[in-house]
Structure 1
């Protein structure tokens, strides 16, 4: 059996290939096809939870498969949505619930929840409002004609240049946010779209007129690339999450340490403080193992745990792929010592044995000792 670090590196060396392997598994392929063929037909929360196959697929995608039986609990979360900071999902410590409700946002988008795209539904709604403000009947032949053309062609737009290169679509898109394509500086609009809205210092976020940020949010090429005009979290993004969850689950069947490492790798960029780590038993387990702390440390005062983690590790490193890789090398090495994949390999024998192809080599052990955080 391959060592923990070797297994982890083989999977992450070409993550796309590893995910393709998961996608090709007959059960995964069949369930995914069913999901994509049917999720857009769901028009209500009741439709969603009553279709056990769709609901379980979605719950697994967000790491909530252990709660797929608690439908009343999830219905409450879905009904209250995430707009209100005090909604049920937002008040739960586990943010996976809020992420799930955000993806299946029936509270905000109603029957369009599983097909809603800002670049389509939001823009056309705004366009009708702007027409009314300008004194034009939203039900006029002109408005209807422009909207029909827009909806028929906007899904074909795969880049900023595509959008700006079609004057009719471009004019419609800007008009939906109260911007006049005839007077707006095209270079500035391009910069607005290129910068997106995730960075507080992006062009859109620094301009005084909030319409620019709204435009960049609706046409979020910076975040969603070629899928910007069709993006809906309930569709392909949920499938992508399902595949990643399945990959981790598959790895865990033979080595739980690999599953934990993959999970930490996925969650690392979202970690902002040590309390996020401590609130997640899997993340906390990885941190303790990497630092050589016993499981009993989990029973210590939470503030003291956070303080120690902060002294030993720099949380900003988790946003740096190279530094994160170094940390996970440390974790997988420590996991292997505590849970050797070969009975011939122990923390003592590693120190004296010649390098071998299974388990931890002497060189690896020495390298591990040099790691600093």
Structure 2
């Protein structure tokens, strides 16, 4: 026989009884056979759910899920809930973001079926009053929010230690040796963890990481050591080119190799992925300005090809080019000044005077893709953007594939999660590296549920079911029990003081509690919304001395507000 929670008395007396017995009653309630089996089944199976269809097709899992968010009545509204779960959370105009009831948004965020962040713990605060704070400077310049953030971890009074706090806030908390993690007082790490400004950026693919980190060097990379000392850029290079040997001394020899010299270190390696890296950055590229003998250029085939391409002229043979390079530019009768040879004048001028600065393949690639990083979404887009396609092939040593459109689309569109996909079976490692670097088709990405996900939802469910059961005895007690959690969700959503009030008015349980506690008359909800806002704020200030809903979450204020609500219900008429 199942246990039914109960309340003796009403109003404040009933609340006092419930406070004394809630823990014991809830423990017995949660052990009831039906509820216990339902919760156990849920915690064992929910993390195997990979999409909204699987959740909606399983009645028991859906029942617990919806119950955890107070949405029990939507159990039969499959089409509506699916639109909620599959909404694009990043689009302010998406279905769920246009709903007034924040419970649906919380549900969608928790499962994250259409979010790059994936599933999140229900307790994760996605908004809060810190939503507009994106850098340490933003927080340090806002004394009110800084004080709030410090108070959250018991560090109030530290507001004036700006330099110290900036170092704390900008610490990489994933690094045990970071500034915040080395402090003996762990509260500072907790303070930084509220924002994680020092957290390394997350990228959708290694190309995005490579270009973004490369562009951090606005003055360019002067040497191989500059690259090797930048851990984020180095990691992006290793992942982009799929390098297996990552010892820095080895990579230094690779990067400093003269790729135009067949006897250089990198040209002795069988794995051409290292040659691609060396050519992409060009640290060992010969300086044509140091050459005085035309034969130094003419006998270096790769360098000569680059030099001719720079001036868009063709190779007419060694003897012809030697005459061009040795011409007296000031003599109108010299070889290069003849009308039939004049196209080579700039080529000869650069060799004899100042050769243009070398532009690495990586720089060319960055110039082409930087503005397209966020919008480039398919292999077809890449292949038919000819200048970007050429630059992309260039850094992967695949320039000979510039006409193989269908082959490259097939490679780049390969399902990388399948061992037998075209890219994974291709004999050319450079093709595979390019496919993984862009990652247009990662295949089926499994939902990665955080630790404690099932348990936290199950706890929410049993808590709300207890409130429902109490509500069958006294609806006002159910509202009093849920008040703190519901008001906390409003505060966590962030926004202005007025935004909090509008969210309260849009929440039936909170509206009931506030209208009752503030002794607002029946029919109040028929007034113009702006008039309701003004009236609620005036009544709140008159009764409690504040107009900010978040202030009611302070322990003393919370108790005072809840007692006033219950007292008003006891007076009758509410």
TM-score, length basis structure 1: 0.61
Q: Which residue of 1 aligns with 2:539?
A: 312
Map 1:127-276; keep pairs closer than 5 Å. Answer: 186-187=181-182, 193-198=189-194, 204-205=196-197, 209-211=198-200, 231-232=450-451, 234-272=453-491, 273-276=500-503
Are 1:43 and 1:114, in contact at CA under 8 Å, matched by a contact in 2? no
Are 2:551 and 2:557, in contact at CA under 8 Å, matched by a contact in 1? yes
Summarize deviations over 1:295-327 as a string: whole Å, max 9, x none. 211211221111111112132431201111111
Q: Which residue of 2 aligns with 1:300?
A: 527
In structure 2, the gaps of 5 or more residues are: 1-7, 125-171, 204-448, 492-499, 541-545
In structure 2, which of residues 103, 110, 115 is the aligned counterpart of residue 103 of structure 1? 110
Q: Bigger radius of gyration, 1 or 2?
A: 2
Q: Which residue of 1 aligns with 2:558?
A: 324
What is the distance in 2 between the residues matched to 1:26 and 1:319? 35
The offset of 1:242, in angstroms, is 0.6
The offset of 1:185, in angstroms, is 6.8
Q: Name the count of aligned residue pairs.
A: 258
Residues 42 and 179 of structure 1: CA distance in aligned 2, closer, same or farther (over 3 Å): closer
Residues 311 and 46 of structure 1: CA distance in aligned 2, closer, same or farther (over 3 Å): same
Structure in which a larger fraction of residues adopt helix = 1
* Local SS of the residue matching 1:87: coil
The offset of 1:257, in angstroms, is 0.9
The offset of 1:188, in angstroms, is 5.2
Are 1:269 and 1:318, in contact at CA under 8 Å, matched by a contact in 2? no
* Local SS of the residue matching 1:329: helix
The offset of 1:236, in angstroms, is 1.3
What is the distance in 2 between the residues matched to 1:300 and 1:105? 37
Which has the higher relative contact order, 1 or 2, with Cα contacts under 8 A spaced 6 or more apart?
A: 1
The offset of 1:334, in angstroms, is 1.0
What is the distance in 1 between the residues matched to 2:535 and 2:506? 15
Map 1:19-34; keep pairs closer than 5 Å. Answer: 19-34=26-41
In structure 2, which of residues 67, 73, 81 is the aligned counterpart of residue 74 of structure 1? 81
What is the distance in 2 between the residues matched to 1:180 and 1:320? 35
What is the distance in 1 between the residues matched to 2:46 and 2:201? 32
What is the distance in 2 between the residues matched to 1:311 and 1:213? 46
What is the distance in 2 between the residues matched to 1:13 and 1:254? 17
Summarize deviations over 1:235-258 as a string: whole Å, max 9, x none. 111112112211210110111111
Are 1:39 and 1:54, in contact at CA under 8 Å, matched by a contact in 2? yes
Residues 213 and 328 of structure 1: CA distance in aligned 2, closer, same or farther (over 3 Å): farther
What is the distance in 2 between the residues matched to 1:235 and 1:211? 28
In structure 1, the gaps of 5 or more residues are: 119-176, 215-229, 341-373
What is the distance in 2 between the residues matched to 1:178 and 1:57? 35
Residues 186 and 2 of structure 1: CA distance in aligned 2, closer, same or farther (over 3 Å): closer
The offset of 1:14, in angstroms, is 6.3
TM-score, length basis structure 2: 0.41
